[in-house]
Amino acid sequence: MANMIERIGVHHCAEIAVRNKWIFREQPVDDIGIDAHMEFVDESGKNRQLLALQIKSGSSWFKEKKDDYIVFRDINERQYNYWTTNSLPCIVVLYNPDDDMCIWQKLTDKTIERTKGGRGKGFFVKVPTAQTFLNHPSNEILLSFTNLPKHVLNYNFLLSQKKFIQIIKDGGTVKLHSTEWVNKSSGKGETELIVDDGENEKRYLYPYYFPFTPYTEVFPKLFPWADFEADEDFYMEEDESLWREYHCYYDKEDEEWLIVGDSFEEFRNKLNPMRSINHSGEVAEYMLTLSINELGRSFLTIDDYISQDQPYTKAVPEE
């Protein structure tokens, strides 16, 4: 009977996966805490994600219910080590055939807790009751879930932008053009890179929203390898208008502007390099020229080193 209930859970997860265009592959029953693999391949044939699933089926797994989560305790030391060091991201899925509740949680060293406040020998995971397996929010989370350590993720992030850094180093230009809806907490806007390598100009879109965060804070996080300067040609008319308003006087008799403060060059040098043009108080428009900062230069140096064959890579210290 128990085995039948387990099979029902596996088949239920498989049906949900297929409906959401995931490829579901059941694994041998003697695997250490992994019942299935689930893969998502986009329309171009590119692999977007590959997950390992531990599936538990039956109402008994839902007995220990707290305010907004189920406590899953059937975890031993061997499984903990297997899940948290696995090259694939691992999740647990709990399915209750009585009411069709199907919920999940990541299996990481952060979600798996040790009993007795960290002093016990057992482990448990809090599985949120609102985290439905492969509904739209969960699908998005699972597509981005990774088991890679932070230093690898950060390196891969920089690596994805290496071509932009290299183009600047080789004498090309990279400009950031963005429009931000300043009165929207949703972070709505449009962002693109305009990349000119000296032969061709290409545009790369960043179709993301950045809620509750000013774009002047977003840009350094989106392009941490770059320093930003206002594109002088783009801001010329706006800068001249501000300069005349604050540092000039219009002589009606001679019909000319007289400088009573800073020169235009002095005024521009004092402006925020990451400034925008305000359109009717609704949209802030940016056009910024990117240059390579210390992080970007260091990344190119490190990437060049690790991309080559190096002697003595197997010479590691012994304890």
pLDDT of residue 312: 79
Q: Are residues 137 and 243 in the same domain?
A: no
| Cβ pair 240, 264 in contact under 8 A | yes
Pair (138, 256) in one structural domain: no
Distance of CA 68 to the CA centre of its chain: 27
Tokens 């970007």 belong to 296
Domain end, chosen from 129, 147, 165, is at 147
Rounded to two decimals, the pTM is 0.65
- 313 is a domain residue: no
Same domain, 10 and 104: yes
Instruction: Tell me how crowded residue 289 is: count the other CB atoms within 10 A of its CB.
Output: 20
- Is 172 within a domain? yes
Say if residues 25 and 39 touch (Cβ distance below 8 Å). Answer: yes
pLDDT number for residue 226: 98
Same domain flag for 135 and 209: no
Token pair for 162 = 């290496």
- Please answer whether residues 147 and 86 qualify as being in contact, where contact means their C-beta atoms are separated by less than 8 angstroms: yes
Q: Is 190 inside a domain boundary?
A: yes
Q: What is the pLDDT of residue 30?
A: 57
The predicted pLDDT at position 140 comes to 93
- Model pLDDT, residue 209: 80
Token pair 């390598």 is found at 197
- Is 239 within a domain? yes
Distance of CA 310 to the CA centre of its chain: 32
Per-residue model confidence (pLDDT) at position 295? 97
Give pLDDT, residue 206: 86
Same domain, 183 and 276: yes
Q: Do residue 235 and residue 287 come from a single domain?
A: yes
Query: Could you tell me which residues come within 8 angstroms of residue 218 by beta carbon, excluding any fewer than 6 positions away?
Result: 187, 210
> 113, 147, 181 — which closes off a domain?
147
The answer on 163 and 29 residing in a single domain is: no
Kindly provide the b/e burial profile for residues 54-80, where b requires at least 16 CB atoms within 10 angstroms of the residue's own CB. Answer: bbbbbeebbeeeeeebbebeebeeebb
HEC profile of the chain: CHHHHHHHHHHHHHHHHHHCCCEEEECCCCCCCCCEEEEEECCCCCEEEEEEEEEEECHHHHCCECCCEEEEEEECHHHHHHHHCCCCCEEEEEEECCCCEEEEEECCCCCEEECHHHCCCCEEEEEECCCECCCHHHHHHHHHCCCCCHHHHHHHHHHCCHHHHHHHHCCCEEEEEEEEECCCCCCCEEEEEEEECCCCEEEEECCCCCCCCCHHHHHHHHCCCEEEEECHHHHHHHHHHHHHHHHEEEECCCCEEEECCCCHHHHHHCCCCCCCEEECCCEEEEEEEEEECHHHHHHHHHHHHHCCCCCCCCCCCCC
In one-letter notation, the amino acid at residue 161 is: Q
Is 44 within 8 Å of 55 (Cβ atoms)?
Answer: no
CATH classification of the domain holding 111:
3.40.1350.10
137, 172: one domain: no
Predicted local confidence at residue 2, as pLDDT: 58
Task: Tokens for 29, please give them.
Answer: 């029953």
pLDDT in tens, the chain (319 residues): 557 888 899 999 999 999 999 999 988 765 678 899 999 988 888 888 999 999 999 999 999 999 999 999 989 999 999 999 888 899 999 999 999 999 999 999 999 999 988 888 899 999 999 999 999 999 999 998 987 778 888 898 899 899 999 999 999 999 999 999 988 777 788 999 999 999 999 999 988 788 888 999 999 999 999 999 999 999 999 999 999 999 999 888 888 889 999 999 999 999 999 999 999 999 999 999 999 999 999 999 999 998 888 887 778 787 6
Strand partners, 51: 38
Pair (125, 196) in one structural domain: no
Task: Read off φ and ψ for residue 174, nearest 5 degrees.
Answer: -130, 120
Quick check: is 193 in a domain? yes
23 and 125 share one domain:
yes
Nearest residue to 224 (alpha-carbon basis) of 281, 180, 153, 290: 290
State the pLDDT at residue 311. Answer: 83
Q: How many domains does the chain fold into?
A: 2
Other C-beta atoms lying within 10 Å of the C-beta of residue 193: 19
Q: Is residue 315 part of a domain?
A: no
92 plus 164 within the same structural domain: no
Could you say which of 111, 127, 147 is where a domain stops?
Answer: 147
Report pLDDT for 254: 85
Domain membership of residue 108 (yes or no) is yes
Domain that holds residue 127: 2-147
Q: Do 140 and 163 belong together in one domain?
A: no
**What is the C-alpha separation between 192 and 176, in angstroms, rounded?**
6
Does 269 reside within a domain? Answer: yes
